[in-house]
Amino acid sequence: MDRAQALRANAAGLAKADYLGNPSTLCKGCGHNSIANQIVQVAFELSLRPHEVLKLSGIGCSSKSPAYFLGMSHGFNALHGRMPSVSTGALLANHTLHAIGVSGDGDTGSIGLGQFKHLVRRNVRMVYLIENNGVYGLTKGQFSATADEGQELKYAGLNDYPAVDLCLEALAAGCGFVARSFAGNAKQVRELLKAALAHRGTAVLDIISPCVAFNNEDTSRKSYAFGRDHEHAMQDLGWIPPQEEIVIEPTEPGEARVVGLHDGSKLALRHLEAGYDPTNKRMAAERLLRAEVEGEFLTGLIYYDPSRPSLAETTHVGEAPLSSLPDEALRPTPEALASVLARY
Amino acid sequence: MTTVETASPDVGDRSPIVNDFSLVVATANGTGSQTANLTLLRTFFQMGIPVHGKNVFPSNIQGLPTWYHVRVSEQGYVARKESELLIAFNPATLDADLRALPTGGVAVLRDDVHPTVARDDLTVYRLPVKKLLEVSTAKGKVREYLANMTYVGVVAWMLGAPLDVVEAALGVQFSGRRKLVDANLEVVRAAFDWANEHLEKRDPFRVAPMNATAGKLLMTGNEAGALGSVFGGVSVAAWYPITPSTSFVDALREYLPELRRDEEGRPTYAVIQAEDELAAIGMVVGAGFAGARALTATSGPGLSLMAEFSGLAYYAEVPAVVWDVQRVGPSTGLPTRTSQGDVAFAYRIGHGDTKHAVLLPSSLEECFEFGWRALDLADELQTPVFVLTDLDLGMNTWMGTRFAYPDEPLKRGKVLTAGEIEAHGFARYADVDGDGVGWRTLPGNVHPGSAYFTRGTGHDARAAYSERSEDWLENMARLARKYETVRARVPAAEVDQVDGADVGVVYFGTTRYALEEARDALAAQGVRFSTLRLRALPPGPEVRAFLEAHPTVVVLEQNHDAQACTILAGEFPDLAPRLRAAAYLDGLPYTAGFVAERLRPYLTAKEA
């Protein structure tokens, strides 16, 4: 970014530079760095107030990346596969925070699959990003559970097992916002991020994010070259702020459609695939399964259903975060103690 | 083959035994006897007599044998004691139960069972349960449950408990629901009247009113701990069901809706049943990091799963409270039997170098007090605090003194406001006060300098990633200072030092009941020793002083590997040769007789 852009302030009075984190220690060209950059850009464009954002992650290359964006926001780099439970607890304590969780395919698809599915089930309000590259990077190139069956890698050899499709898993667990994207498609990543931040529930973004060190051969379905050549975007996406008027020009082959998001903003979808309805769960599941069979690399908003209550709503907690309750709200009175003890 | 008949031994001339016996009710699991047992317990309690109820039950929903022991003790002893009175309502264990009775004991049998054991040294009463139930119109399962009320009636007759007190006890048991009280009372009365008419009192056991339960209550340790936690401001509880801790969370879920709502009636708390114990403690750590008081309750197998997060919370310095209601391990072990087998594990839980604050309550009062205090300590010390009770304390019904309201305000620990950051700056892990505990900030703090990145990886004073040896050493040195702060803040041991005693006994938790009864009995024989009741780890200076004052210190604990003894040896290596391990665990709470025999080899009689 040039200096002038870096210093221009947004509605929160902050410049883009204010949303940066520490310099990345990931490999040059890693898809995760690109995603971190999009998070910075989106936070700036949305004028997020850093103190209202909470960054969370598990363990792995992906999970290091919250250190590389939004340096003025609190962060919790938790345990391998356990980011969902930490997020759940933190957001029970303070449901007013915008939580951005960053996980990887090992963190979510293997060691943390259980916690991931239960987070989604509870509909904890957060953006759950999976930086999905099909391999373990820090341990030097083992297959992850999202690697394609039959794939061969120099270190790991042949992968004998079918890939776990994390969008399908999210869908099956009751997720109301399921999207897939490609780190090489920066605009789509940004638009999906904005919509995900507006969603009052768990928004899962499975972003194919190539690993330049261990899984970027042109033949790999998690490589930049494959993504560029085969990405099949289901929609052109445009996020629209709450105040803005919507003007959409329908174009063939798809028709334009606008979905309202929880905070009053909207997401305009110009369908590139005739007949696909992202609010139809069965269609979403069938489309994902077909993509798997036909080897397609689908991106876009796969499923959207804003109707399920978030965990904060299910637990009926009041407006004030539990973390901000004054002492007198925390400790009942001596009379209350006497009244309970009278029963014993 | 001889059968036991309603005949009785010649015990008519025995002097009465008043308010000093133990009664056991043998039933099958799932037959609804708990209400009857608690009614008996409460009846004696309402008569002003010290009581205690212990359930010895199987890991089973229905059918396996279960025994409920009621100890009645004028002197207030509540340890397990072999029972002299048996209510034999389980045909499957009838013979074994009869064999277990001491000479002069009493057995109440249904008239439709036929034991093969010959005991002419017992008083036996036979009870026509089916006939007695004719007064009731209840059907099916309810009728089966009501059958237990027949023994309540007979025991009331046998011991001389007034029916109006039984009625009052039923009132408490059924929370005053009149219809239920009447339906049960009807059967109790029928049995009482029948016994009065048809049985002749031939045993020496009696109850007589006392005034020893004024200001007292009957409760379980899990209820007391949960209530204490509510008065400590717990706002998030995450858990996974496991015996014997489940009733802790059940109690929380009873108290919280009543005690914690905002002006609009909305809850100011959240209780989440997690998918497993990994997630349960993960939620607690997340909530603690974000500034809400949070706890989980579990038992050994669950604690095993919590090792990973315990290490993280220790090193990232996040407040958390873990209640471990101990049961017998290793592995699934004896899932419904009591133990003190998690002491060493909880104390060191986590890989690498971790030493935790462990609280060791022994009574209802301490469960309540440590309930709120643990949440204070976790916030003050920014670390996980483990509260170790056991199945015996957690699930059984104990007598306690009405709890005192917390005598200190809530202690929220070192949390910086935006203004304080502006004035003084902020470095998360800097030891500003020299006590090893840094200042923290909560997410949501508006100061641009408030954010930090919490991590389990090596970090410097500003929470930045670091693999520098100097940073690592500095951090560990600070954690060592913090450990000394923990030592100074956790509850001190209770010491009873006897002048001139060469032997000291260290114990903790529910071991106190048998130990203290044994101590009195041995003292009556002129055998005296000092005692120290640990109430927390790490052990404080008073523990060192106790070891220095006694050439022989016996550590009595309910496990096999002498876990607390080993911890003390590690904490005070120079005094370790004085320590003697007296660990023992068979799944049952200790009796005073057992403890006296266990200690005797170390003790010598001294002229009083």
Q: Where are the beta strands (DSSP E) in A40-162?
A: 53-57, 74-77, 98-104, 126-132, 135-136, 142-143, 152-153, 157-158
Does residue A272 have a pLDDT over 90?
no
- Whether pLDDT at A24 is above 50: yes
Strand partners, A203: A127, A177
**Residue A256: what pLDDT?**
76
Contact A211, A218 (CB under 8 A): no
Please check whether residues B207 and B151 belong to one and the same domain: yes
Q: Which residue has the tokens 């042109």?
A: A218
- Euclidean distance between CA atoms A47 and A16, whole angstroms: 9
Whether B6 has a pLDDT exceeding 50, the answer reads no
* Distance of alpha carbon A92 from the chain centroid: 19
Which residue, among B114, B389, B62, B337, has the nearest Cα to B224 in the 3D structure? Answer: B389
CA distance A310 to A120: 10
In a domain, B39, yes or no: yes
Mutate to test the interface with A, among B41, B258, B275, B459 (most CBs of A within 10 A): B275
The verdict on whether omega for the bond into residue B65 sits within 30 degrees of 0, i.e. cis, is no
Of the pLDDT bands very low, low, confident and very high (cuts 50, 70, 90), residue A57 is very high
Whether B290 sits inside 8 A of A91 (CB atoms) is yes
Question: Tokens at residue B282, please?
Answer: 């993960």
Domain boundary, last residue among B489, B520, B552 = B489
Asked if A327's CB is within 8 angstroms of B286's CB, the reply is no
Query: Is B406 in Cβ contact with A344 (below 8 Å)?
Result: no
Please give the structure tokens belonging to residue B423. Answer: 């004035």
Q: Do B412 and A327 touch (CB under 8 A)?
A: yes
Co-location of B90 and B206 in the same domain: yes
Residue B408 lies in a domain: no
Residue A157 has φ and ψ, to the nearest 5°, of 80, -140
From chain B residues 206-265, the ones with a CB under 8 A of any chain A CB are: 217-219, 223, 227, 230-233, 235-236, 238, 255, 258-260, 262, 264
**Do B172 and B25 belong to one domain?**
yes
Q: Which residues of B touch A12 (CB under 8 A)?
A: none
| Residue type, position A139, single letter | T
B293 interfacial to chain A (CB closer than 8 Å): yes
Q: Which residue has the tokens 């090596």?
A: B458
With respect to residue A334, please indicate whether it lies within any of the assigned structural domains: no
| Model confidence at B10: pLDDT above 70 | no
CA A245 – CA A243 distance, rounded (Å): 7
Mutate to test the interface with B, among A24, A55, A82 (most CBs of B within 10 A): A82
Instruction: Please classify residue B577 by burial: count the beta carbons closer than 10 Å to its beta carbon, then call 0-12 exposed, 13-18 middle and 19+ buried.
Output: exposed
**Structural domain includes residue A214:** yes
Q: Do B286 and A79 touch (CB under 8 A)?
A: no
* Residue at A339 is within a domain: no
> Which residue in B has a C-alpha nearest to residue A54's C-alpha?
B443
Query: How close does chain A come to B287, measured CA to CA in Å?
Result: 4
Alpha carbon distance B170, B166 (integer Å): 6
Q: CA B311, CA B350: separation in Å to the nearest integer?
A: 4
Show which of residues 328-347 on chain B sit within 8 Å of chain A, judged by CB atoms.
none
CB-based contact A327 B279, cutoff 8 Å = no
Together in a domain, B188 and B209:
yes
Residue B558's SS3 state is coil
Question: CA of B267: how far to CAs of A191, B230, B255, B405, in Å?
Answer: 36, 13, 12, 22
CB contact under 8 A, B287 and A321: no
| B480 and B505 co-located in one domain | no
Whether A327 and B233 lie within 8 Å, measured CB to CB: yes
pLDDT exceeds 50 at position B291: yes
Question: What is the percent of chain B with per-residue pLDDT over 90, rounded to a whole number?
Answer: 94
Backbone angles phi, psi at A336, to 5 degrees: -65, -40
Instruction: Kindly state whether residues B503 and B467 are assigned to the same domain.
Output: no
Question: Are A117 and A169 in contact, with CB atoms under 8 Å apart?
Answer: yes
One-letter identity of residue A285 = A
Domain identity same for B229 and B346: yes
Structure tokens at B167: 């009625």
Query: What one-character-per-residue DSSP string does B330-357 give?
Result: STT-EEEEE--TTHHHHHH-SSSS---E
Q: Which amino acid makes up residue B252?
A: L
Asked whether residue B413 is assigned to any structural domain, the reply reads: no
Query: Are B450 and A74 in contact (CB < 8 Å)?
Result: yes
Whether B190 and B225 map to the same domain: the answer is no
What does the pLDDT read at residue B103? Answer: 96
3-state SS record for A146-193: CCCCCCEECCCEECCCCCCCHHHHHHHCCCCEEEEEECCCHHHHHHHH
Closest-CA residue to A283 (of A306, A305, A302): A302
Please give the pLDDT value at position A250.
Answer: 47
What is the end-to-end Cα distance of chain B in Å, rounded?
52
CB contact under 8 A, A334 and B405: yes
Instruction: Answer yes or no: is A328 within a domain.
Output: no
Return the closest-CA partner of residue A278 out of A176, A202, A189. Answer: A176
B357 min Cα distance to partner chain A (Å): 22
Mean of pLDDT values over B457-483: 97
| CA-based nearest residue in chain B for residue A75 | B453
CA distance B54 to chain A (A): 17
- pLDDT surpassing 70 at residue A2: no
Residue of A75, A89, A344 lying closest to B282 (CB–CB): A89
Token reading at B338:
């009591």
Quick one: pLDDT at residue A251? 47
Pairwise CA distance, residues A101 & B225, whole Å: 35
pLDDT above 80: residue B12: no
Is the pLDDT at A3 greater than 70? The verdict is no
Q: Is B406 within a domain?
A: no
The CA distances from residue B410 to A332, B113, B354, B435, B573, in Å, are 11, 58, 27, 20, 37
- Encode pLDDT of A278-333 as tens digits: 999 999 999 999 999 998 999 999 999 999 999 999 999 888 999 999 999 999 99
Domain that holds residue B187: 4-214
Q: What are phi and psi of A266, to 5 degrees?
A: -140, 160
Give contacts of B232 with chain A, Cβ < 8 Å. 331
Distance, in Å, from the CA atom of A54 to the CA atom of A72, rounded to the nearest integer, reads 10
Give the DSSP per-residue string, B425-450: ---TT--TTSSS---B--TT---TT-
Contacts of residue B405 in chain A, CB cutoff 8 Å?
Answer: 334, 337
Which letter does DSSP use for residue B10 in this model?
S
Question: B271 forms bridges with which residues in the sheet?
Answer: B237
Whether the predicted pLDDT of A199 surpasses 80:
yes
Chain-chain contact of B290 with A90 (C-beta, under 8 angstroms): yes
At residue B607, the pLDDT reads 43
pLDDT value at residue B106: 98
Q: What CATH number has the domain bearing residue B233?
A: 3.40.50.970
With contact defined as beta carbons under 8 Å apart, do B367 and B359 qualify? no
- Mean pLDDT score across all residues of chain B: 95
CATH number reported for the structural domain that contains residue A134 in this entry:
3.40.50.970
* CB proximity B282 to A under 8 Å: yes
Are A297 and A225 within 8 A, CB to CB?
no
* Cα A137 from Cα A43, distance rounded (Å): 27
The ipTM (two decimal places) reads: 0.96
Q: What is the pLDDT of residue A273?
A: 85
B447 touches chain A (CB under 8 A): yes
Give the count of Cβ contacts less than 8 A between chain A and B: 222
Give the distance from CA B312 to its chain's centroid: 28
Write out chain B residues lying below 8 Å of A82, CB-based. 278-279, 282, 308-309
- pTM listed for this prediction: 0.96
Q: Out of B235, B283, B454, whose CB is closest to A330?
A: B235
Å between A89 CA and nearest CA of chain B: 4
Average of pLDDT values for A201-228? 95
The mean predicted confidence, pLDDT, of chain A is 93
A-facing residues of B in 158-177 (CB < 8 A) are 172, 175
**Is the Cβ pair B286, A334 closer than 8 Å?**
no
Supply the pLDDT for residue A5: 67
Kindly state whether residue B517 falls inside one of the protein's structural domains. yes
Q: Are B431 and B478 in contact (CB under 8 A)?
A: yes
Dihedrals φ, ψ of B36, to 5°?
Answer: -65, -45
Q: How far is A267 from chain B (nearest CA, A)?
A: 28
First to last CA, chain A: 68
Residues B230 and B373 in one domain: yes
B442 contacts in chain A (CB < 8 Å): 74, 94, 323
CA gap B249, B254 in Å, rounded: 8
Query: How far is it, in rounded angstroms, from Cα A3 to Cα A253?
Result: 41
Please give the residue range of the domain that contains residue A135.
Answer: 3-323
Give the minimum alpha-carbon distance from B143 to chain A in angstroms, rounded to a whole number. 27
B388 touches B342 (CB < 8 A): yes
Asked if the model's pLDDT at residue A1 lies above 70, the reply is no
Residue A325, classed as helix, strand or coil, is coil
The H-or-E segment that residue B565 falls in is helix B563-571
**Nearest-by-Cβ selection for B230 from A55, A76, A332:** A332
Structurally, how many domains does chain A consist of?
1
Among residues B489, B518, B547, the one where a domain terminates is B489
Name B415's bridge partners. B440
pLDDT of amino acid A94:
98
Chain A interface includes B401 (CB < 8 A): no
Query: How do residues B536-571 score in pLDDT, each as one tens digit?
Result: 999 999 999 999 999 999 999 999 999 999 999 999
Look up residue B491 and give its two tokens: 């509850």
Instruction: Judge whether B296 is closer than 8 Å to chain A, CB to CB.
Output: no
Q: Please indicate, yes or no, if residue B407 is contained in any of the structural domains.
A: no
Q: Does the distance separating the beta carbons of B292 and A94 come in below 8 Å?
A: yes
Position A248 pLDDT exceeds 90: no
CB contact under 8 A, A77 and B286: no
Residues of B in contact with A92 (CB under 8 A): 236, 270, 272, 283, 286-287, 292
Q: What is the pLDDT of residues B294-338, one digit of tens each?
A: 999 999 999 999 999 999 999 999 999 999 999 999 999 999 999
- Give pLDDT tens digits for B489-526: 999 999 999 999 999 999 999 999 999 999 999 999 99
pLDDT in tens, A186-196: 999 999 999 99
Enter the tokens of residue B276: 């497993």
Question: Which of the listed residues B471, B489, B507 is the one where a domain comes to its end?
Answer: B489
Q: Which of A85, A325, A336 sits opposite B235 (nearest CB)?
A: A325
Tokens of B503: 């032997």
Question: Distance (Å) from the C-alpha of residue B191 to the closest C-alpha of chain A?
Answer: 27
Does residue B168 lie in a domain region?
A: yes
Q: Same domain for B287 and B314?
A: yes
Tell me, yes or no, whether B425 and B357 share the same domain: no
B191, B149 Cβ separation under 8 angstroms: yes
For B88-103, what is each residue's pLDDT tens digit?
Answer: 999 999 999 999 999 9
Q: Which of A213, A70, A90 is nearest to A154 (CA)?
A: A213
| CA–CA dist B513, B529 (Å, integer) | 16
What's the angle, vertex CA A319, arms to CA A318 and CA A322, rounded to 5? 70
Residue A282's alpha-carbon distances to A63, A201, A277, A287, B490, in angstroms, are: 32, 20, 10, 8, 57
Question: Is B254 part of any domain?
Answer: yes
Burial of residue B352 (CB within 10 Å: 0-12, 13-18, 19+) is exposed
Contact B286 A92 (CB under 8 A): yes
pLDDT tens per residue across span B107-164: 999 999 999 998 999 999 999 999 999 999 999 999 999 999 999 999 999 999 999 9
Domain count, chain B: 4
Query: CA-CA distance, A108 to A83, in Å (whole number)?
Result: 9
From A55, A329, A337, residue closest to B268, measured CB to CB: A329
Q: How many CB atoms lie within 10 A of CB A97?
A: 25
Query: Does residue A83 form part of some domain?
Result: yes
Residue of B nearest to A314 (CA): B270
